[in-house]
């Protein structure tokens, strides 16, 4: 199984429509991949809070249309990163869209842990409350978004739901780049699962992005890591590696339920 992570640059001076068209053509080029992953809120920028409401879309909006076509053109499973979703009740969500190779919307995930404490996403958006896995053949994917990476209990829940890999789109700032790589490896090691962590490059709303998208195997080894600039990271995954890791070092079986509060 080949995965491509598209670490697209999200710069404030590029119009959203132009970036959407650019992302669609980058996805459509990934015909050799089985699975393609884009970052969090790449149309608008994860820290461009003032643009959230004006650029919010319905689930069936312009990003859905462009990504559905791109997935079908390339014939890939596409985790299209996330959009600012305007729900029918008017609330905004940070919502990930996953498309099948025929371009059908296979899953959505509304980010559970919102970033910003008492401002930004945490006050502008509503929180999701559903764990989501996607039955990608051979490699069931658990979904999480950016700040979710700091909450290990979410990932345990995804493992219990059958995930062998986690897809984590992000808009992670450069100033906490060390946390990004450390936490991505930790989630892989403790859950004995692949981590596909796709961030953004560029600078928007004055926040330089970390880049450094990475793919980590179930033993915690970094298989590939991007630099700071826009880049497509391609890596071959072996789903059997998850089961052999879990069989040969069966730490997940030693969990003592009830001690973690979940
Ligand atoms: N968009 C985000 O969720 C940012 C998360 C972040 O900056 C952090 O966890 O640190």
Q: What is the pLDDT of residue 258?
A: 64
Number of domains present in the structure of the chain: 1
Q: Is residue 122 part of a domain?
A: yes
pLDDT digits (tens, 9 = 90+) for 235-253: 999 999 999 999 999 999 9
pLDDT digits (tens, 9 = 90+) for 55-104: 999 999 999 999 999 999 999 999 999 999 999 999 999 999 999 999 99
Q: What is the pLDDT of residue 257?
A: 76
Query: What is the residue range of 65's domain?
Result: 2-254
Q: What is the pLDDT of residue 104?
A: 98
Q: What is the pLDDT of residue 45?
A: 98
Name the stretches of the chain with pLDDT < 70.
258-262
Q: What is the pLDDT of residue 259?
A: 59
Q: Is residue 261 part of a domain?
A: no
Q: Active-site residue 121, yes or no?
A: no
Q: Is residue 262 part of a domain?
A: no
Q: Is residue 187 part of a domain?
A: yes
Q: Is residue 179 part of a domain?
A: yes
pTM above 0.95, yes or no: yes
188: which residues sit within 8 A by CB, 6+ positions away? 166, 194, 195, 216, 217, 218, 219, 220
Q: Is residue 23 part of a domain?
A: yes
Q: Active-site residue 262, yes or no?
A: no
Q: The domain that contains 113 carries what CATH number?
A: 3.60.110.10
Q: Is residue 221 part of a domain?
A: yes
Q: Is residue 47 part of a domain?
A: yes
Q: Return the best residue to mutate from 173, 174, 183, 211 for the ligand 1 pocket (most ligand atoms within 8 A of CB).
A: 173
How far is C-alpha 233 from the geometric centre of its chain's CA atoms? 14
Strand residues in 100-202 grouped as ranges (E): 105-110, 133-134, 141-143, 165-169, 194-198
Q: Active-site residue 146, yes or no?
A: yes
Distance 172 CA to ligand 1 centre (A): 5
């Amino acid at each position: 199984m080949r995965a491509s992570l598209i670490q697209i640059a999200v710069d404030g001076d590029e119009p959203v429509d132009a970036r959407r068209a650019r992302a669609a053509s980058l996805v459509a080029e990934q015909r050799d991949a089985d699975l393609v992953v884009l970052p969090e809120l790449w149309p608008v920028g994860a820290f461009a809070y003032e643009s959230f409401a004006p650029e919010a879309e319905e689930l069936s909006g312009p990003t859905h249309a462009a990504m559905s076509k791109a997935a079908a053109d390339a014939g890939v499973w596409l985790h299209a990163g996330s959009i600012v979703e305007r729900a029918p009740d008017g609330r905004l969500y940070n919502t990930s869209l996953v498309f099948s190779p025929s371009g059908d919307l296979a899953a959505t995930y509304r980010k559970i842990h919102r970033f910003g404490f008492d401002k930004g996403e945490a006050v502008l958006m509503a929180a999701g409350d559903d764990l989501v896995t996607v039955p990608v053949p051979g490699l069931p994917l658990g979904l999480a978004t950016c700040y979710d990476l700091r909450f290990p209990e979410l990932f345990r829940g995804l493992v219990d739901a059958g995930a062998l890999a986690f897809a984590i789109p992000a808009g992670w700032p450069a100033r906490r780049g060390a946390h990004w790589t450390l936490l991505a490896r930790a989630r892989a090691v403790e859950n004995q699962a692949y981590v596909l962590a796709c961030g953004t490059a560029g600078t928007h709303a004055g926040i330089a992005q970390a880049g450094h998208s990475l793919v980590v195997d179930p033993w915690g080894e970094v298989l590939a890591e991007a630099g700071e600039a826009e880049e497509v990271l391609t890596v071959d995954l072996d789903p059997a590696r998850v089961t052999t890791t879990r069989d040969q070092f069966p730490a997940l079986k030693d969990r003592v339920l009830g001690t973690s509060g979940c």
